[in-house]
Structure 1
Amino acid sequence: MSSQPGPGATSQENGPINLLRPLILISYSLFYIIPTIIHLLLNFQLTTFLSPSDFKDVWFARFWAFFGPKSRDVAAPAVMPLLQKNARGVCLDIGPGSGQWLYLFQRANNPDITKIYGIEPNKGMHKALRENAVNAGLGDIYEIIGCGAEELQTKGGIQKETIDTIITVQCLCSIPTPETIIKELYPLLKPGGQWLVYEHVKTKYQGDFVGYWQSGINIVWPHCFNGCDITRPTDEWLLQAGEWEEVKLRPGEGEGKYDTVPHIIGTLTKKRR
């Protein structure tokens, strides 16, 4: 049995002024181009200017060092109860980055977790990810797998129906071929296993101004936020990935027709045989 709230299932919805929020966030990111250039010049890293992708990586890293913790604090009220109450057994943590959410998996909050596989293809993140796992008291059960989610069966050694919990927190918006990856992750879940999700999604208000506004913002947004695409219908792809026994997805708190970067949050439980 599946259920999904419609566009009107929000509370304390924000007003039209919220349409300007993505412009403010983009301006923060663009501002960090200046200190990035200064940093590269002072450190004689001139070859970085010859590669747009390398420059973007350095630029985003400096920006995210400032903005990442603030983004986490904003999302925490929604993410904390999702991860603390539902993660159990053998967990697949997709795209954990540097591990900013690992403190939520502490055993005091999640005594039923037995193993966590952190799927992080960016090896530059592994040192910080390992440190955060140890700091959270998870050093003995957290294993980093340095491959993409699409390679979990071939390179990661993860077999079908061996995972109790899949966790995707603001990662499906930026990984390549997300629809394909979602379909490849679904078979890894055990029957009765849960997928915990907190992701950016395409607005449901396509007939309203915000639908066109979101598409326009998305021309610039991925360049400022490390490839993040805010127009992906991730919730629809999840629902189509396979058979679900129960779906509990809802919009982000207070989000509605004036939100350019809306979210879905909740759980999907795989159908038992």
Structure 2
Amino acid sequence: MPTVEHPLFSRVWSWAMRHEPRDVVRARGELLQGLSGRVLEVGAGTGSNFAHYPETVTEIVAIEPDRLLREEATVVAAARETAVPGTRIHVRDGTFEALPADAAGPFDAVVCSLVLCSVADVPGSLASAYAALRPGGQLRYYEHVATDGWLGGLQRTVDATFWPRAFGGCHTHRDTVGAIDRAGFERIQHRDIRGAPRWAPVPISPLALGIAQRPA
């Protein structure tokens, strides 16, 4: 499986993850609260979520295609395992569309954190998540999403020009929540978040945080 390389973006992202705003840190905690058992996290980045998993999670299979980010996540995973010996974290190369063999389900939860904006195939990725979950398992999502009005127009413009190339394939104007619904998940909790005031020209400010379930 080829390794993804975005050297400049990876370094910028690594710096950003070490300087996350408080509201992002709080959202990560909310995203993961109450989880237990076996979890698949796709697009783990530098391992920013690892410290937020509750001790009731016994195993995390963390998928990250970017080599530099994956190396950093491996270090963070080892620190978490030392701090919480009851949790095993396996950091692996792979993508949502091409999960490695040891990422086979069933999982109690699949975690998507700022990743569905950058996958090549959103329906295929969500189908992969659905297949990896046990019946009744949960999809936890914290994602950039499309909005309407002038900001939606700005999102479409930046997506069609420089944004995906500059930011590791990120697309700001994706109907991610609608795609989750169409993939067969049942939303059981959802809220919209603004990462910046509505008047601010920040394409990634509209976010969605929620829980969807594979029907039992």
Give the structure-2-normalised TM-score.
Answer: 0.83
Per chain length, whose mean CA-contact separation is higher, i.e. which structure has more relative contact order (CA < 8 Å, sep 6+)?
1
Determine the structure 1 residue equivalent to 2:37: 89
Change (3 A) 1:254 1:75: closer
State the alpha-carbon separation in 2 of the partners of residues 119 and 65 from structure 1: 16
Per-residue CA deviation, residues 162-186 of structure 1 (Å, 9 max, x unaligned), is 1101001001111221221111211
* Alpha-carbon distance, 1:74 to partner: 4.4
Equivalenced residue count is 206
Does the CA-based 8 Å contact 2:40-2:103 persist in structure 1? no
1:142 to partner: Cα distance: 0.7
| Cα distance in 1 between the residues matched to 2:49 and 2:192 | 20
Which structure shows the bigger proportion of residues in strand conformation? 2
Q: Percent identity?
A: 24
Deviation at 1:195, TM superposition (A): 0.8
Q: Is the 8 A contact 2:60 2:90 kept in 1?
A: yes
Q: Is the 8 A contact 1:72 1:100 kept in 2?
A: no
CA distance in 1, matches of 2:174, 2:77: 30
Report the alpha carbon displacement of residue 157 of structure 1 after superposing the two structures with TM.
Answer: 3.7
* Alignment check: 8 A CA contact 1:87 1:165 kept: yes
* TM-score, normalization by structure 1: 0.67
Which amino acid counterpart does residue 98 of structure 1 have in structure 2? T
What is aligned with 1:13? Answer: none
| 1:238 equivalent in alignment to 2:187 | no
Distance 2:79 2:143 in 1: 26
Task: Tell me by how many angstroms 1:59 deviates.
Answer: 2.5
Matches within 5 A, 1:214-229: 214-218=155-159, 219-229=161-171
Query: What amino acid does structure 2 have at the position aligned with 1:111?
Result: E
Bigger share in helix: 1
Displacement of 1:253 after TM fit?
4.9
Structure 2's unaligned 5+ residue stretches are none
In structure 1, what is the equivalent of residue 144 of structure 2? 200
Question: Partner of 1:92: helix, strand, or coil?
Answer: strand
What's the Cα RMSD here?
2.4
Larger Rg: 1
**Deviation of the 1:156 alpha carbon:** 1.9
SS at match of 2:116: coil
Distance 1:70 1:136 in 2: 19
Whether the 8 Å contact between 2:47 and 2:76 is mirrored in structure 1 is: yes
Equivalent in the alignment of 1:141: 88
Relative to structure 1, the CA distance from residue 217 to residue 143 in structure 2 (aligned partners, 3 Å threshold; closer, same or farther) is same
Q: Which secondary structure does the structure 2 equivalent of 1:70 belong to?
A: coil
